[in-house]
Amino acid sequence: MITAGIDVGSLTSKAVIMKDGKILSSIILKSKPRPWESADLAINGVLEKTGLSMKDINCCVGTGYGRDKIPFIHQARSEIACHAKGARWLMPSARTVIDIGGQDCKVMKLDEKGEMVKFITNDKCASGTGRFLEVMAKAMGVELSELGELSARSKNPVTLASACTVWAQADVIQHLNEMIPIEDIAAGINNAMASRVATLVSSIGIEKEVCMTGGVAKNSGVVSSLEKTLGIRIKKIRRDDPQLAGAIGAANYAETLLNGGKI
C-alpha cells in the first residue's frame, strides 16, 4: 500500500511517500506563489526520488494553507489534524505538540490514543511564527538555519522591546548599529520567539511528552529558550525531519482512508 502526503505551507512545501507505514522518500522545498505549482513540484520531486509515478500512489491526502487548491489529492485535511497525526508517528509518546510553521503557530493536545482533544493557534500577526525568524535573520544578514547555532554562543542576550515583527526588526537593526555581538542579538530573537510561543503553550496546558514540529523545531536556540521559559523538557524528534510532520500525518490519513476508515 503506497500513500502520499503533501503539505503546502506558506514558506515551504513538503511531500512524503510512504509504503506500509514507512517513509520511502520525502522532499522539502520553497513554496511558489501558487499552491498548485508548489504541490506539483513537491509531488514530482518526491516521486522522482523513488522512481514511482502518480499512478503507483494508492491514496494522497493534502494539507497546509494551500490544501484546497491541490488538484491531485483524494482528500484535504486541516494542518492542525495532520501535524498532530504526524507528530504521533514521529514520536508515539507525544501528548503535547508544538508546531511552529511559516505563518502560524499551533499547540495540540493528544489523548493516550493519539487523538487530538484540544488545540490552539496564534492570532493573525506574524509574531511567534517562522516568518518572524525569517525577517530577523534577513535583517541580520544571516541564514535562517544559523540562528540556533549563533544563539548557543551568546553570553549576554539582548532583550527585544517588542514581539511585534515590525518593531522587533527595528530593534535588531539598532542593536546591529550599536555593534552588539551578532550572537547576542540572535539569542534575543530566539528568546522573544520562545516567550511568545510559551504564552500559547501555557494557555492550553502541558502534558508530557512534549515535542516540537515544523521548521522552527530545528532551531535549537528557540527550543532551549522555550524549555527554560516553560520549565519543561521538549523531547527531540529523531525518527525523521520534524518539518515533515504535516506531510507524514497526511500520508497516515491516506492510509486510514485506504483501509476504509473515516478521517
Partner 1 sequence: MTAIDSELKILLEKPLNHLVERAINEGMIPIGYACSMVPEALISVGKLFPVSMRAPGSEGTEMADLYLSSVICTYARSLLEFALDDRYKFLGGYVFTAGCDHLRRLHDNLDYLKKPGFSYILDIPHKTGGAALEWTIEEITRLASALEKQFDTDMSRESINKAIEKTNALNRALSAIGTLRKSKHPPFTGTQYHRLIMASRVSPAEYMMPLIEKFRKTAEDSEGRSEYRARLMITGSGLDDPEYTNIIESQGALVVADRYCSGSFPGLEPLDSSSNPFEALARRTLEVTRCPRMMEGFNSRAEYIAQIAEEYSADGVIIESIKFCDTWGLESAALTDQLRAKGIPVLRVEREYRQSGEGQLRTRVQAFIESIGH
Query: For binding to partner 1 (CB under 8 A), which residues are involved?
Result: 65, 77-81, 104, 116-119, 121, 123-124, 263
From 186, 177, 179, select the one nearest 146 (Cα to Cα).
Answer: 186
Nearest-approach distance from CB 18 to partner 1, in angstroms: 20
Cα within 13 Å of Cα(62), Cβ side: 22
- Residue 6 or 147: the one with the smaller Cβ distance to partner 1 is 6
8 A C-beta contact, residue 117 and residue 110? yes
Distances in whole angstroms, Cα of residue 73 to Cα of each of 20, 132, 149: 19, 31, 38
* Residue 127 CB neighbour total at 10 angstroms: 20
Nearest-approach distance from CB 103 to partner 1, in angstroms: 9
Nearest-approach distance from CB 250 to partner 1, in angstroms: 13
Could you write out the DSSP letters of every residue in 167-205?
HHHHHHHHHHHTT--HHHHHHHHHHHHHHHHHHHHHHH-
- Residue 2 or 116: the one with the smaller Cβ distance to partner 1 is 116
8 A C-beta contact, residue 198 and residue 83? no
Nearest-approach distance from CB 251 to partner 1, in angstroms: 16
Nearest-approach distance from CB 20 to partner 1, in angstroms: 25
Nearest-approach distance from CB 158 to partner 1, in angstroms: 27
- Residue 109 or 175: the one with the smaller Cβ distance to partner 1 is 109
- Residue 154 or 252: the one with the smaller Cβ distance to partner 1 is 252
- Residue 104 or 184: the one with the smaller Cβ distance to partner 1 is 104
- Residue 80 or 100: the one with the smaller Cβ distance to partner 1 is 80
What's the CA gap between 87 and 81, in Å, rounded? 10
**Strand 116-121 versus strand 2-8 pairing type:** unpaired
Nearest-approach distance from CB 88 to partner 1, in angstroms: 14
**Strand 210-213 versus strand 96-100 pairing type:** parallel
| DSSP E strand boundaries for the chain | 2-8, 12-19, 22-30, 59-63, 75-76, 96-100, 105-110, 116-121, 210-213, 234-235
Grid cell listed for 192: 522573544
What's the CA gap between 248 and 245, in Å, rounded? 5
- Residue 122 or 154: the one with the smaller Cβ distance to partner 1 is 122
